[in-house]
């Protein structure tokens, strides 16, 4: 009897052991950052105070998660990491000898893969090529193609194994870059359609690599649209739905946090996840893989967005990069001049402002143009009266745009402004309406959740006297009275116009949809471009003059004033708590 029990027990143990050998569960973790925009330290070098999000907080989160997942944690970045803060600018253009602080930090944190974003391309070949070469991991770009031979400029995808599970990650970027950036920044390259590229490389990945998990790392948002009549922008959802094979699609670019599942054309579930910007959130995806007889039999995918502001910046990270922090602080603290009054960007949404008109004056002076176009680039930025420092310039001018000079007719200038103010202002039906065109559920906390349209497209003009009738529909809002010097303005005359390179390449479509120019027209109309960004010239301008007396030029106004003046005060109180 005892013998039977022993034999039975051995049989059970052998059977259990065999089952264990045949079936096991593997837990994988995928962490995505995106649109960090130079927010490496938990400190704003622009505002010179402690700041939200940051790579330092991500480092603390990843360190904690690796204690559980070890090598089964895959850390990835989805682009727009090289632009937006003095920390990136300094290592892009000032200290070009040291290892780029971004590459240094990402290597230290053990990033496994990166992807290119449009603002990374905006830094120019010298910057992004250097950064890519310094990264100890692949930076992807399946639809970034060399024009010389038609081959990908960067690896289209990467393959990695974790606990025997084969993972493929395909990287794509929005192809609309030629509509925003001057060709000298991406010379020798083209940007192919995302969906066509995904179909091509999915076939290669499936046939050649035979992975267990396929992840899309797409620097593009969700709401697809055509830009410049030929570039499909924000096509991530289209790709996820129409190109079967993706298990997870990590997206970015649009700064809109989201986490959801959709069905592709075959009915398979695809997780879509976007951590917005500034490393305030990360995409936190857990994949539970069931393996039997050495093959994946089942997979459970769960995603969530994890708040990095709940984490204390990693002390080891901060200690490691303290020399870079010191160098950056010295850079932004350098005095360049003096302002006799405080200027604020919020005023620019409600009428002429000293904030925007300072940029107008600079653009006119540098270019020798007759007319200037520019928009407020920050929702609620301020430069205080007193000494002005390098860091303040990142508040005044947010992007690394060049200054273009172009030839436009009077009619094109009017139509350009019609498009701008259509996106900017509400068509008022009564004195109690909003002056500004606001989202239905506006927050008053930032431009993207407050305004119906992107505020970086709210261009005003200097050099001409004009009115904006907010009771009229698009096409009838703008009346140009004269040139600012009192001379007549003619719809048929060609004028020399100063504007930033983003706009001059078709960005925001004010020149294309508004003025009616084609992409080919834009190239022909270009007279000149600066070789350095506008912020550089702003710093030079202030440094040379030392004392700046900021003032609104008052060359345009909203009408009828009996409606618009009270409406501006109401909207100022509502959105900015000011009037």
Q: How many C-beta atoms lie closer than 10 Å to residue 24's C-beta?
A: 14
pLDDT one-digit tens code per residue, 117-132 = 999 999 999 999 999 9
Residue 400: CB partners within 8 Å, gap ≥ 6? 83, 89, 92, 122, 123, 533, 535
Q: Would residue 524 count as lying in a domain?
A: yes
pLDDT one-digit tens code per residue, 270-325 = 999 999 999 999 999 999 999 998 888 899 999 999 999 999 999 999 999 999 99
Q: What is the mean pLDDT of residues 339-368?
A: 96
84 and 195 in a single domain? The answer is: yes
387 and 505 in a single domain? The answer is: yes
Residue 11 has pLDDT above 50, yes or no: no
Dist. CA 252–CA 221, nearest whole Å: 6
Q: Domain span at residue 185?
A: 23-328
DSSP 175: T
Residue 300: CB partners within 8 Å, gap ≥ 6? 287, 288
What is the pTM (predicted TM-score) of this model?
A: 0.90
Query: Which among 239, 286, 366, 232 has a CA at the least distance from the CA of 31?
Result: 286
Dist. CA 290–CA 542, nearest whole Å: 63
Q: Structure tokens of 302?
A: 């769960």
Q: Give the pLDDT confidence score for residue 431 in this predicted structure.
A: 97
242 and 285 in a single domain? The answer is: yes
List, as one string, the DSSP characters of 224-261. -EEETTTEEES-HHHHHHHSTT-SEEEE-SS---EEEE
Dist. CA 123–CA 103, nearest whole Å: 15
Query: Which among 233, 216, 257 has a CA at the least distance from the CA of 115?
Result: 216
Residue 7 has pLDDT above 50, yes or no: no
Residue 229 has pLDDT above 90, yes or no: no
Q: Give the pLDDT confidence score for residue 214 in this predicted structure.
A: 98
194 and 238 in a single domain? The answer is: yes
Instruction: Give residue 200's region: left, alpha or beta (phi > 0; psi -120 to 50).
Output: alpha
Number of domains in the chain: 2
Dist. CA 570–CA 579, nearest whole Å: 7
Which of 9-18, 72-81, 152-161, 204-213 is least confident? 9-18
Q: Would residue 146 count as lying in a domain?
A: yes
Residue 122 belongs to a domain with what CATH number?
Answer: 3.60.21.10
Q: What is the mean pLDDT of residues 371-390?
A: 95
The pLDDT > 70 percentage for the chain reads: 96
Q: Would residue 8 count as lying in a domain?
A: no
How would residue 59 be classed by pLDDT, with cut points 50, 70 and 90? Answer: very high
pLDDT one-digit tens code per residue, 502-554 = 999 999 999 999 999 998 899 999 999 998 999 999 999 999 999 999 999 99
Higher pLDDT, 533 or 11: 533
Domain end, chosen from 328, 346, 370, is at 328
Averaged pLDDT of the chain: 94
Residue 3 has pLDDT above 50, yes or no: no
DSSP 577: S
End-to-end CA distance of the chain: 94
Main-chain phi, psi angles of 120, to 5 degrees: -70, -40
Main-chain phi, psi angles of 274, to 5 degrees: -140, 120
417 and 308 in a single domain? The answer is: no
Residue 78 has pLDDT above 50, yes or no: yes
Residue 120: CB partners within 8 Å, gap ≥ 6? 79, 80, 81, 82, 83, 128, 131
Q: Beta-strand (E) ranges in 257-389? A: 258-263, 269-274, 281-292, 295-307, 335-339, 343-344, 371-374, 382-383, 386-389
Dist. CA 418–CA 239, nearest whole Å: 34
Q: Give yes or no for a contact between 498 and 364, defined as CB atoms under 8 angstroms apart.
A: yes
Q: Would residue 16 count as lying in a domain?
A: no
Query: Which among 299, 270, 211, 250 has a CA at the least distance from the CA of 28?
Result: 299
Query: Which among 63, 39, 62, 61 has a CA at the least distance from the CA of 52?
Result: 39
Q: Give the pLDDT confidence score for residue 13 in this predicted structure.
A: 45
How would residue 21 be classed by pLDDT, with cut points 50, 70 and 90? Answer: low
Q: What is the mean pLDDT of residues 253-265?
A: 97
391 and 539 in a single domain? The answer is: yes
351 and 320 in a single domain? The answer is: no
448 and 400 in a single domain? The answer is: yes
Residue 84: CB partners within 8 Å, gap ≥ 6? 36, 37, 38, 39, 119, 398
Q: Would residue 278 count as lying in a domain?
A: yes
The count of C-alpha atoms lying within 13 angstroms of the C-alpha of 528, restricted to the half-sphere facing its C-beta, is 11
How would residue 577 be classed by pLDDT, with cut points 50, 70 and 90? Answer: confident
Q: Would residue 182 count as lying in a domain?
A: yes
38, 160, 212, 369 from 215: Cα distances, Å: 25, 11, 10, 49
Residue 2 has pLDDT above 50, yes or no: no
Q: What is the mean pLDDT of residues 63-75?
A: 98
Q: CA-CA-CA-CA torsion for 436, 353, 515, 403, nearest 10 degrees?
A: -140
433 and 347 in a single domain? The answer is: yes
pLDDT one-digit tens code per residue, 86-99 = 999 999 999 999 99
363 and 418 in a single domain? The answer is: yes
233 and 375 in a single domain? The answer is: no
pLDDT one-digit tens code per residue, 188-219 = 999 999 999 999 999 999 999 999 999 999 99
Residue 10 has pLDDT above 50, yes or no: no
How would residue 449 be classed by pLDDT, with cut points 50, 70 and 90? Answer: confident
Domain end, chosen from 328, 355, 373, is at 328
Q: Give the pLDDT confidence score for residue 328 in this predicted structure.
A: 97
Residue 12 has pLDDT above 50, yes or no: no
210 and 255 in a single domain? The answer is: yes
Query: Which among 45, 47, 49, 37 has a CA at the least distance from the CA of 119?
Result: 37
Residue 69: in which H helix or E strand, if any? helix 55-69
pLDDT one-digit tens code per residue, 43-56 = 999 988 999 999 99
Dist. CA 55–CA 44, nearest whole Å: 13
Q: Would residue 554 count as lying in a domain?
A: yes
Main-chain phi, psi angles of 481, to 5 degrees: -85, -45
Residue 527 belongs to a domain with what CATH number?
Answer: 3.90.780.10
> What is the Rg, in whole angstroms, of the alpha carbon atoms belonging to the chain?
27
Residue 491 has pLDDT above 90, yes or no: yes
Domain end, chosen from 279, 313, 328, is at 328
């Amino acid at each position: 009897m005892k013998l039977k029990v022993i034999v039975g027990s051995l049989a059970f143990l052998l059977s259990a052991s065999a089952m264990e050998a045949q079936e096991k569960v593997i837990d994988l973790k995928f962490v995505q950052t995106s649109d960090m925009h130079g927010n490496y330290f938990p400190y704003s070098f622009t505002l010179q105070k402690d700041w939200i999000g940051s790579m330092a907080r991500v480092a603390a989160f990843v360190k904690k998660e690796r204690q559980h997942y070890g090598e089964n944690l895959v850390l990835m970045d989805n682009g727009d990491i090289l632009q937006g803060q003095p920390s990136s600018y300094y290592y892009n253009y000032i200290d070009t000898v040291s290892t780029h602080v971004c590459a240094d930090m990402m290597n230290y944190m053990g990033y496994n893969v990166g992807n290119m974003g449009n603002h990374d391309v905006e830094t120019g070949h010298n910057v992004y090529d250097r950064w890519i070469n310094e990264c100890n991991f692949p930076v992807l770009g399946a639809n970034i193609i060399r024009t010389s031979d038609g081959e990908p400029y960067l690896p289209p995808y990467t393959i990695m194994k974790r606990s025997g599970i084969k993972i493929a990650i395909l990287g794509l970027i929005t192809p609309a870059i030629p509509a925003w950036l001057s060709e000298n920044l991406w010379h020798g390259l083209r940007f192919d359609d995302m969906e066509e590229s995904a179909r091509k490389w999915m076939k290669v990945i499936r046939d050649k690599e035979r992975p267990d998990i396929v992840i899309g790392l797409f620097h593009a948002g969700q709401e697809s649209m055509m830009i410049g009549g030929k570039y499909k922008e924000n096509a991530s959802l289209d790709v996820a739905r129409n190109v079967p094979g993706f298990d997870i699609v990590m997206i970015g670019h649009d700064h809109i946090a989201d986490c959801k599942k959709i069905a592709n054309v075959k009915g398979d579930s695809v997780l879509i996840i976007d951590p917005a910007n500034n490393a305030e959130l990360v995409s936190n995806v857990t994949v539970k893989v069931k393996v039997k007889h050495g093959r994946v039999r089942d997979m459970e995918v769960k995603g969530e967005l994890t708040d990095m502001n709940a984490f204390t910046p990693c002390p080891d990270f901060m200690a490691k990069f303290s020399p870079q922090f010191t160098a950056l602080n010295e850079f932004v603290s350098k005095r360049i001049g003096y302002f006799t009054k405080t200027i604020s960007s919020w005023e620019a949404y409600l009428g002429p402002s000293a904030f925007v008109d300072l940029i107008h004056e600079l653009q006119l002076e540098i270019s020798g143009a007759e007319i200037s176009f520019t928009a407020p680039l920050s929702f609620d930025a301020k430069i205080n009266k007193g000494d002005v420092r390098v860091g303040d310039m990142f508040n005044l001018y947010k992007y690394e745009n060049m200054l273009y000079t172009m030839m436009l007719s009077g009619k094109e200038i009017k139509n350009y402004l019609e498009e701008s103010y259509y996106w900017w202002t509400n068509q008022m039906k009564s004195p109690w309406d909003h002056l500004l065109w606001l989202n239905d559920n506006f927050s008053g906390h930032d431009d993207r959740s407050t305004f119906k349209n992107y505020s970086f497209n709210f261009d005003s003009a200097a050099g001409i006297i004009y009115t904006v009738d907010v009771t009229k529909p698009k096409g009838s809002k703008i009346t140009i009275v004269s040139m600012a010097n009192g001379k007549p303005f003619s719809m048929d005359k060609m004028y020399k116009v100063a504007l930033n390179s983003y706009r001059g390449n078709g960005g925001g479509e004010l020149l294309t949809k508004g003025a009616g120019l084609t992409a080919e027209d834009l190239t022909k109309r270009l007279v000149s471009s600066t070789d350095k960004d506008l912020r550089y010239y702003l710093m030079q301008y202030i440094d040379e003059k030392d004392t700046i007396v900021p003032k609104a030029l008052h060359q345009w106004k909203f009408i009828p004033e009996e409606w618009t003046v009270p409406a501006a005060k109401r909207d100022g109180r509502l959105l900015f708590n000011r009037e």
